[in-house]
Amino acid sequence: MKPIFPLLLIALLLLGCTQKTEQKSPPNIIFIMSDDHAYQAISAYSDNLLETPNIDRIAKEGMLFSNACVTNSICAPSRATILTGKHCHLHGKIDNRFPFDTTQITFPQLFQEAGYQTAMFGKLHFGNSPKGLDEFKILPGQGNYYNPDFITNEGRVKIDGYVTDIITDLTLDWMENRRDPDQPFLLFYLHKAPHRDWLPAPRHYREFTQRTFPEPATLFDDYEGRGSAAREAEMNILLHQNWAGDSKLRPEVLDELGIVPASDWDKRAMQGKYNRFNEEQLASWNEVYDPIIEDFKKKYPSMSIEDQMRWKYQRYMQDYLGCIAAVDESVGTLLDYLDETGLDENTIVVYTSDQGFYLGEHGWFDKRFIYDESFKTPLLVRWPGSTQPGSVNNEMVQNLDFAQTFLDAAGIEAPGDMQGESFVSLLKGEDEKWDREAVYYHYYEYPSVHMVKRHYGIVTTEYKLAHFYYDVDEWELYDRKNDPMEMQNEYNNPEYADVVADLTRQLAEMRVKYLDSEEQDQKYIDMYDE
Ligand code: SGN
Ligand code: CA
């Protein structure tokens, strides 16, 4: 038998001798994470794109973090940081390519040892199976939107339907039927949506493809004022999104109109999607998307480059936001279930994304950069009895902090080599106990898809200093208060000389504190060359 919180039990008994107030049992934790969900697409943050009433409920009944951020804005590294509580250079999962080192201790293992029930459903993206989970059903790699395969404790299964709905069904099935109601649980509910290539559920096709979304002010950014990293990144909606694979034109239409594909596999990507649909799904798809293609065929010959960008941006938003509609509904289903079963009272519900995402700002999609839309991530937490409903917190909490926060909330000791900080104090409104002034960031996956150069940096509430290295040696400084859209690199502006000097020193100290170094940078460069 597993030990059931021996230390906690003694503590509670001792407390019971002196105090008559009712003690709660350890809280359940539900960690909901979607993939590439930009905070700009959650109405609790900004409501000019779509309404997300169910995700917003978590903020209404709990806390919204306005400055939550990641240590490395890319999928698998973020997940490894969340699970280990360490920066990438220590857990080793620096990019999406190399598999996760399973000798690393992940926090679900500690919860399991402490007697928690543990389960994970959805997208992990590690290249190997997670540890410390009583049950898991995860997508292989990126997974598929339609009729996806899942890797389970008992082998691989294919499940018919739409991925967001399936992950929700698996999660609810575990909560309802396969969990011991007398033991606390830690549950990972991990959506694939709204990851590229943005396939919504059939019930959302029509509504979203009929909508027109406001364009960001920087959609036609020319990257002047920034360095070579911004200019050379391959994340531009017009230049780098696939006409077929992303904008969903039929592959043969590209030939018909003489459109040069954005990449080699542009056409193949769309064919892969058609092959995956069953007959009924394909019919629903064609019914809505064929008229869009016909309309485009008529317009294309007279479209300017700007018109093409605008058209691609709208197609992108329609499908990306359409995916989020199903995610939001699924969160509503889960919250309703918690309410109906009374589980809501002692369950911490967290909603976040593995990183931020560009929704046309600077003309971009994707993430990777230390710049805000990619570096910041949504974070909403509901903890009845501990967190003040409707509260907003502006501190820079990081995905690095989740492990220690959850361990703290559950009364389980965190290993000394974890590098985050528990933000339980912030959740309880005790902000005076929090003294972080800056965070560290490090991105590695280069050369690779989207071609965002390697960089590390320091971010404070006022400034951001980043060093781009490997095939360049460029520094960038942004004044976050006066230039919130990060349009002007101030590194060489004499007016900022003191700020640069101060932040350069702080960044060097931070690299020492977190055990990062030039030797580590070189090690991860050499790994690519092998
Ligand atoms: C795929 C996507 C990229 C994306 C990476 C990583 N291309 O390669 O656009 O940056 O995944 O995303 S796609 O055409 O295959 O969708 S991550 O979220 O897993 O880091
Ligand atoms: Ca992601």
Q: Which of 506, 490, 349, 388 shows the shortest CA–CA distance to 436?
A: 506
Ligand 1: centre distance to CA 35 (Å): 10
Instruction: Give the model's pLDDT for residue 23.
Output: 59
pLDDT of residue 153: 84
pLDDT digits (tens, 9 = 90+) for 12-31: 444 444 444 455 799 999 99
The boundaries of the domain holding residue 281 are: 214-317
Q: How far is the CA of 218 from the centre of ligand 1 (A)?
A: 23
The CA angle 384-53-284, to the nearest 5 degrees, is 135
Number of domains in the chain: 2
Residue 501 sits in a domain whose CATH number is 3.30.1120.10
Residue 286 lies in a domain: yes
Q: What is the pLDDT of residues 27-64, one digit of tens each?
A: 999 999 999 999 999 999 999 999 999 999 999 999 99
Among 287, 317, 347, which residue terminates a domain? 317
Predicted local confidence at residue 268, as pLDDT: 86
Q: Residue 204 domain-assigned?
A: no
CA 196 – ligand 1 centroid, Å: 6
> Among 256, 286, 317, where does a domain finish?
317
Which atom of ligand 1 is closest in space to residue 365's alpha carbon? 9
- pLDDT for the residue 21: 45
C-alpha–C-alpha distance, residues 463 and 483, integer Å: 10
Q: Which of the listed residues 33, 37, 138, 142 should we mutate to test ligand 1's pocket, taking the one with most ligand atoms within 8 A of CB?
A: 142
Query: Radius of gyration (Cα) for the chain, nearest Å?
Result: 23
- Per the domain annotation, does 250 fall within a domain? yes
My answer on whether omega of the bond before 251 falls inside 30° of 0, hence cis, is no
Ligand nearest to C-alpha 242: 1
Closest ligand to residue 399's CA: 2
| pLDDT given at position 263 | 84
Contact 438, 452 (CB under 8 A): no
Domain limit, last residue, from 317, 333, 348: 317
pLDDT of residue 267: 82
Could you tell me if residue 313 is inside a domain?
yes
CA of 450 to the centre of ligand 1 (A): 9
The per-residue DSSP string of 484-524 comes to TT-----TT-GGGHHHHHHHHHHHHHHHHHTT--HHHHHHH
Is 402 a domain residue?
A: no
| Ligand 2 centroid, distance to 18 Cα (angstroms) | 48
- Residue written as token pair 């959609």: 219
For a mutational test of ligand 1's pocket, the pick from 36, 70, 78, 96, i.e. the residue with the most ligand atoms closer than 8 A to its C-beta, is 96
Those residues of the chain that have pLDDT short of 50 are 1-4, 6, 9, 12-21
Q: Is residue 473 situated within a structural domain?
A: yes
Ligand 1 pocket by Cβ (under 6 Å):
35-36, 74-75, 96, 125, 142, 195-197, 245, 366, 449-450
Does any domain span residue 143? no
Question: Is residue 267 a part of any domain in this protein?
Answer: yes
